[in-house]
Chain A
């Protein structure tokens, strides 16, 4: 089974802090994704990566950056956390080829910025 592991289920940080959310997958997937989920808005794509050191902005990249130094690991960085970044963050991965390949998700990180 595919395993996507997010480093924390719950995280509480202060405004202005630099926050790192880590995601690791064990299926040698080329693609990795970071979403945030807010009530009534569904999942919105922040950033994705289709190869090591490659990244592309999603729909809501402002205030975030990402890093992918190894194929299995994709990090989301909140450069200076703000209260409007309080949300559920979901990491996902998938194979690059094959349009029928689903994205596999981690358990999510509930981040609170105080």
Chain B
């Protein structure tokens, strides 16, 4: 069965420092996708970054980058130059169905999240 594991329930980081949020996954499908979302205290889920299993390069989006290590089945989120507004819950998720299902589901499996607190 597919599974996402986030082992860090909470983390502190100093403002302007970089931080890595861990995510490991388990799947037997050769084709899969990994997503990171941010959830501030207000509750909305904000999509941050995506990595496909066949992507040759690690994904980057501004201050967010994904350290994708396929052999280790890990997809850690790296936030550079942390800001106070980065304080939030962060979720790692994996697309469940392989693409040859015609994209009919695109269901996601979520980890339990990591609460990040940025300190001034």
Chain A residue at minimal CB-CB distance from B98: A99
A105 interface residue, CB < 8 Å from B? yes
Contact B104 A42 (CB under 8 A): no
- Residues in A whose Cβ lies below 8 Å from that of B83: none
A22 interface residue, CB < 8 Å from B? no
Interface size class of A (residues with CB under 8 A): 20 to 34
What is the CB-to-nearest-CB distance from A57 to chain B, in angstroms, rounded to a whole number?
11
Contact A96 B108 (CB under 8 A): no
Which of B31, B93, B103 contacts A96, CB < 8 Å?
Answer: B103
Contact B105 A40 (CB under 8 A): no
- Residues in A whose Cβ lies below 8 Å from that of B45: 90, 92, 105, 108
A41-B112, A42-B111, A42-B113 known; A99 and B44 CB under 8 Å?
no
- Residues in A whose Cβ lies below 8 Å from that of B102: 96-97
6 pairs across A/B with beta carbons < 8 Å?
A: A40-B112, A42-B111, A92-B45, A99-B31, A107-B44, A108-B45
Binding site for B on A (CB under 8 A): 9, 31, 33, 35, 40-45, 48, 50, 56, 58, 88, 90, 92, 94-108, 110
